[in-house]
């Protein structure tokens, strides 16, 4: 499912049928056209923001949004969460997958560059916090309260499996952002396609700034920056840049209109989410019956299986999961014609609106056929932790 980008499924017939006409009208204009306004109205109405700007990839959206946050607040530091990925640009390519040896203190994680070539100045401007630890976040924000432009996070981190925010955590971050006059920035590049109105609506916590992408255009490259009018009007040509030849390109814009209006509908989400719940329950029942040490973490269209005795609530607990057994699970499912999840124990499954109950049942039955072998391996082999 394209690492979460294909909530529509592959080549949805409605998208294929309606999209053909778009090709004859041009593939690139170099400026925004009427369809961009139509899409903007769809997005703002559905997700509850005043204004939007369109880019192409998720990395572009978060990169531009970081610049916007810094320009709007007049501050330069960012607070992000250990283990979270927000695109491959330098400002946020910090502590994405730090090893245990480099990660440092649990409460005050080290700022670990995720790639060579990232300037040390940008690394030092990116404060790293543990996810689901509000006390640690409070300490870090108050220490840097006049320096932080934005607190950025995925409401459900998906670079360490599928980690749900604990009760009060998102609300606590909302309060911290208010207290320190910085922006709360939700990176919903993935989660905008997991719930009909996104994770902000699902968890009832409204950020100041939001980026969306992936599933929103049915597999075509399109991303969104969304916020209030006051914040979005910080973008002014010649002052705060949001440039890109392929911004609002007509093919992706048309694909997004068709996707949001006709495919990823509220009823479509409802059906797909029911199947997601059925899949998770099926996996969970089998794991319990076979006495497998697993953590099923899921909600709606997505989830993951961690081979662990403890829930995964942050990057450090993800590092303690049994990755050898996970890969045995993954390869065993593949060999029986089921792709159970994205490649890697840090990924998750995605149900699409084209999936059927019979396909979910097939996945569950396949897992049942290998569960006994997985238990035997877990009993005989030493734990192989992540990284």
User: pLDDT of 331-341, one tens digit each?
Assistant: 999 999 999 99
Q: What are the pLDDT digits (tens) for 97-130? A: 999 999 999 999 999 999 999 999 999 999 999 9
* pLDDT tier at 382, thresholds 50, 70, 90: low
314 among known catalytic residues: no
Closest by Cα among 323, 298, 342, 347 to 159: 347
- Quick one: average pLDDT of 324-345? 94
- What's the angle, vertex CA 301, arms to CA 296 and CA 304, rounded to 5? 25
The fold for domain 2-263 equals: 3.40.640
Distance CA 346, CA 330 (A): 12
Closest by Cα among 76, 77, 67, 115 to 95: 115
Q: Which residues of 244-272 are buried (b: 16+ CB within 10 A; e: fewer)?
A: eebbbbbbbbbbbbbbbebbbeeebbeeb
Domain limits of the chain?
2-263, 266-380
Is the CB of residue 61 less than 8 Å from the CB of residue 224?
Answer: yes
Is the CB of residue 155 less than 8 Å from the CB of residue 148?
Answer: no
Supply the pLDDT for residue 378: 82
Q: What are the pLDDT digits (tens) for 154-193? A: 999 999 999 999 999 999 999 999 999 999 999 999 999 9
- Quick one: average pLDDT of 280-296? 95
Q: Of 97, 190, 194, 214, which one is the catalytic site residue?
A: 214
Is the CB of residue 67 less than 8 Å from the CB of residue 53?
Answer: no
Place of tokens 């973008």: 235
Distance CA 368, CA 374 (A): 10
The fold for domain 266-380 equals: 3.90.1150
76 among known catalytic residues: no
Q: Of 49, 80, 85, 97, which one is the catalytic site residue?
A: 85
* pLDDT tier at 356, thresholds 50, 70, 90: very high
DSSP string across 51-83? EEEEESSHHHHHHHHHHHHHHHHT--EEEEETT
Place of tokens 């840090």: 346
- pLDDT > 90 in the chain, percent: 88
Is the CB of residue 375 less than 8 Å from the CB of residue 381?
Answer: no
187 among known catalytic residues: yes
Q: Of 90, 133, 187, 314, which one is the catalytic site residue?
A: 187
């Amino acid at each position: 499912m394209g690492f979460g980008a294909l909530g529509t499924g592959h080549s949805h017939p409605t998208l294929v049928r309606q999209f053909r006409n778009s090709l004859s009208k041009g593939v690139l204009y170099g400026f925004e056209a009427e369809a961009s306004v139509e899409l903007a109205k769809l997005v703002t109405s559905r997700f509850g923001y005043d204004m939007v700007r369109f880019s192409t990839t998720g990395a572009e959206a978060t990169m531009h949004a970081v610049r916007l946050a810094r320009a709007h607040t007049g501050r330069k530091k960012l607070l992000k969460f250990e283990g979270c990925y927000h695109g491959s640009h330098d400002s946020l390519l910090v502590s994405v997958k730090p090893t245990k040896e480099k990660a440092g203190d649990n409460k005050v994680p080290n700022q670990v560059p995720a790639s060579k070539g990232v300037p040390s100045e940008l690394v030092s401007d990116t404060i790293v916090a543990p996810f689901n630890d509000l006390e640690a976040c409070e300490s870090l924000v108050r220490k840097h309260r006049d320096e932080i432009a934005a607190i950025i996070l995925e409401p459900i981190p998906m670079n360490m499996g599928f980690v749900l925010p604990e009760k009060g955590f998102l609300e606590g971050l909302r309060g911290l952002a208010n207290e320190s006059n910085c922006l709360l920035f939700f990176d919903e590049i993935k989660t905008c396609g997991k719930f009909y109105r996104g994770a902000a609506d699902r968890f009832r916590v409204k950020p100041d700034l939001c980026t969306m992408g992936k599933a929103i255009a049915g597999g075509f490259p399109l991303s969104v920056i969304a916020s209030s009018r006051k914040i979005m009007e910080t973008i002014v040509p010649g002052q705060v840049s949001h440039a890109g030849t392929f911004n609002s390109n007509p093919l992706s814009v048309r694909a997004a209109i068709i996707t949001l209006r006709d495919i990823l509908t509220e009823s479509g989400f409802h059906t797909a989410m029911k199947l997601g719940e059925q899949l998770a329950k099926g996996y969970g029942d089998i794991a319990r019956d076979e006495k497998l040490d697993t953590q099923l973490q899921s909600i709606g269209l997505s989830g993951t299986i961690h081979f662990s005795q403890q829930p995964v609530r942050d990057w450090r607990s993800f590092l303690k999961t049994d990755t050898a057994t996970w890969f045995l699970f993954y390869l065993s499912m593949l060999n029986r014609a089921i792709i159970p999840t994205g490649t890697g124990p840090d990924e998750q499954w995605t149900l699409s609106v084209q999936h059927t109950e019979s396909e979910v049942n097939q996945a569950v039955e396949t897992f049942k056929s290998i569960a006994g072998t997985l238990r035997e391996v877990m009993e005989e082999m030493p734990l192989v932790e992540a990284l």
